[in-house]
Amino acid sequence: MSLSRKDFMKVAGLGLAAGLVPAATVSAFAQATPAKNLPIPLGLASYTMHKFSLDDTLKYSKRIGLTHIALKDVHLPLTSTPEQISEAVAKVKAAGLNLYGAGVIYMKSEEEVKRAFNYAKLMGIQTIIGVPNYELLPLVDKLVKEQNIKLAIHNHGPGDKVYPSPDTVYERIKSFDKRIGLCIDIGHTVRIGQDPAKMAQKYADRLYDVHLKDVTGNTGKDSPLEIGRGVIDIPGFLRTLVKIKYQGVLGLEYEKDANDPVPGLAESVGYTRGVFRMLA
C-alpha cells in the first residue's frame, strides 16, 4: 500500500505540511520514534550547518535527535593536523554522535586522493563521500584495497559534468573494487529526471551512503525545501531502502535556510521518523 504525505499527515495528526506547528513542536515529534527503533539510522550531512561552527553543529544535531554525522571540510578542514583531527573526533564522540563519514570531498589530483584517504584514516571513519576525477579511479581502487575504506561517489544532477546521475557513477566504477560505490543524493537524482527508489534498488549492492532531502520539482532548476513538502516520494524511497536492507546511514542534507536551518531540519527529521513509524 502506498503511503502518501496526505495519508501520513492524516494518521500522524500534524500540520507540518501547512507549517501550522512551531519548530519546538516539530522537534518534539522528531523524538517520538526513538532512534534505536528506526530501521535505518538518521544522520547529518554537516554541509547543512556550513555557516555554523562544529560545536554548534554537534549541539543542534544532538538536540534534534540525530545519531550520526558526516563532516564537511568546513567543520574539519582537509589540511587539519593529526592533533586537530583527534580533537574534532573527540568532540563528536563527547556529543554522543557516531562519526560515520566525511564529505563531499572533491579529488582532482593524486595528491588530493591520498590526502582524502589519510584524512579518513586519521578520523577513523569507514566511508568517504567523494567526487574523484575519472582518471584517478585506479588510484582510488588501490587505496580502498590497502586501507579498507569505502568511497561513496556523490551525484550532483544537471550541470555536473563528472557524475550527474547514479547511472553515470556506476558506469564509471563497475570494473573497480566493490568498496567504490555510490552516495545517492535523492534531490539531484530527481532533478535529473530519475527515480531515487529505482536507483537504490538497481545499485543496492554498491549503495554506501544517501543524502536525504526534498526539492520543489524535477525541471533541473528547482529549489530545496523541507523533507515531505516537495515532489519526492519519500515514503516510497524509504520503503525501498528497508526492502533492500540498506546498511548505511540516511544523511539529511537540508539546504533551504543556511542562516537558520534548525527548524526546517527538525521538521525534516520529524517527518522522516513519522514515515518510518507508518511503515513499521
* Whole-prediction pTM: 0.89
What per-residue confidence (pLDDT) applies to 272?
A: 98
What per-residue confidence (pLDDT) applies to 17?
A: 37
Task: Categorise residue 100: left if φ over 0, alpha if ψ from -120 to 50, beta otherwise.
Answer: alpha
What per-residue confidence (pLDDT) applies to 37?
A: 84
- Other Cβ atoms less than 10 A from the Cβ of 279: the count is 13
| pLDDT in single tens digits along all 280 residues of the chain | 444 555 554 444 343 433 333 444 434 544 555 666 899 999 999 999 999 999 999 999 999 999 999 999 999 999 999 999 999 999 999 999 999 999 999 999 999 999 999 999 999 999 999 999 999 999 999 999 999 999 999 999 998 999 999 999 999 999 999 999 999 999 999 999 999 999 999 999 999 999 999 999 988 788 999 999 999 999 999 999 999 999 999 999 999 999 999 999 999 999 999 999 999 8
What per-residue confidence (pLDDT) applies to 218?
A: 87
CA torsion through residues 11, 17, 19, 20, sign: negative
Residue 171 is placed in which grid cell? Answer: 558506469
- HEC profile for the chain? CCCCHHHHHHHHCCCHHHCCCCHHHHHHHHCCCCHHHCCCCEEEEHHHHCCCCHHHHHHHHHHHCCCEEEECCCCCCCCCCHHHHHHHHHHHHHCCCEEEEEEEEEECCHHHHHHHHHHHHHHCCCEEEEEECHHHHHHHHHHHHHHCCEEEEECCCCCCCCCCCHHHHHHHHCCCCCCEEEEEEHHHHHHCCCCHHHHHHHCHHHEEEEEECEECCCCCCCCEECCCCCCCCHHHHHHHHHHCCCCCCEEECCCCCCCCCHHHHHHHHHHHHHHHHHHC
Q: Which CATH number belongs to the domain containing residue 119 in this structure?
A: 3.20.20.150
Residue 48 structural domain: 5-279
Number of structural domains (the chain) is: 1
Residue 167 is placed in which grid cell? Answer: 547511472
